[in-house]
Chains A and B, each alone.
Chain A
Amino acid sequence: MNSKVRELRQAAGLSQAALGEAVGVSRQTINALETGRYDPSLTLAARLARHFGSTIEEIFDVVED
């Protein structure tokens, strides 16, 4: 799954640890999201969308096989 988490986080001037704390996950989870190694739960995706004032669809893009 592609995501815009990294660019949104950097635009907001946040570190991975700060974003993780804001949405209730670890720095490593934010890193795994940004590098495409981890697909978030619906709850986490919604938290991230709310945090960035965006929508889940705008942040995450499902890549069809």
Chain B
Amino acid sequence: MSLRTDRLPISGVNVVLVTAFVVGGLVTLALGHVLQAVGLFLVGAGGLHCALWARRPSARDVTRLNALEWRDERDRQLGKEALSVVGACALVLSIVELVVVSVLALDAALWLAWVQLVVLMTIWALMNSIVVRRG
């Protein structure tokens, strides 16, 4: 999926992500989970704001990478370099998560999923900073 779509105010992947949060929030709200729905709406709104902020002509390169708003070939190269590390870490963490949930028969799998997401997002932001300094 392209991360750069000049016809849209944000990239295609951000359209999908924001839509997922909004639709997820609506469904969650319909199921009566108000707090969780508000959380999803807030995350979606935050993501939309970050994407629009990264689209400014004066935005920094690391800001564009963090927001998945690649502008040119260098952004694409650096973004893919950072995401390849995130992908490798995601594979390892997913396996660790599966083992932990299986061994402990946890009901708290949701918390593990959140921990995994936070760890991956941190690694991603760190890698974006590293690749931007290098290239």
Contact = CB atoms under 8 A, between A and B. Distances in A.
A44 B74 CA distance: 10
A26 B135 contact: no
B90 to A, nearest CB: 27
Contacts of A44: 73
Given A32-B74, A38-B74, A40-B73, A26 B134 contact: no
B72 A38 contact: no
A54 B72 CA distance: 22
Scoring B72, B75, B77, B135 by chain A CB atoms within 10 A of each residue's CB, the highest score goes to: B72
Nearest to B71: A26
Contact of B74 (A17, A25, A43): A25
Interface residues of B, number: 12
A16 B57 CA distance: 13
Contacts of B73: 25, 29, 40-41, 43-44
Contacts of A37: 134-135
Nearest to A31: B61
Contacts of A17: 57
A37 B75 CA distance: 13
Interface of B: 57, 60-61, 64, 71-75, 77, 134-135
21 contacts: A17-B57, A24-B72, A25-B71, A25-B72, A25-B73, A25-B74, A26-B61, A26-B64, A26-B71, A26-B72, A26-B74, A26-B75, A28-B60, A28-B61, A29-B61, A29-B73, A32-B135, A38-B74, A38-B77, A38-B135, A40-B73
Given A26-B61, A28-B61, A29-B74, 11 more contacts: A25-B73, A25-B74, A26-B71, A26-B72, A28-B60, A29-B61, A29-B73, A37-B135, A38-B77, A41-B73, A43-B73
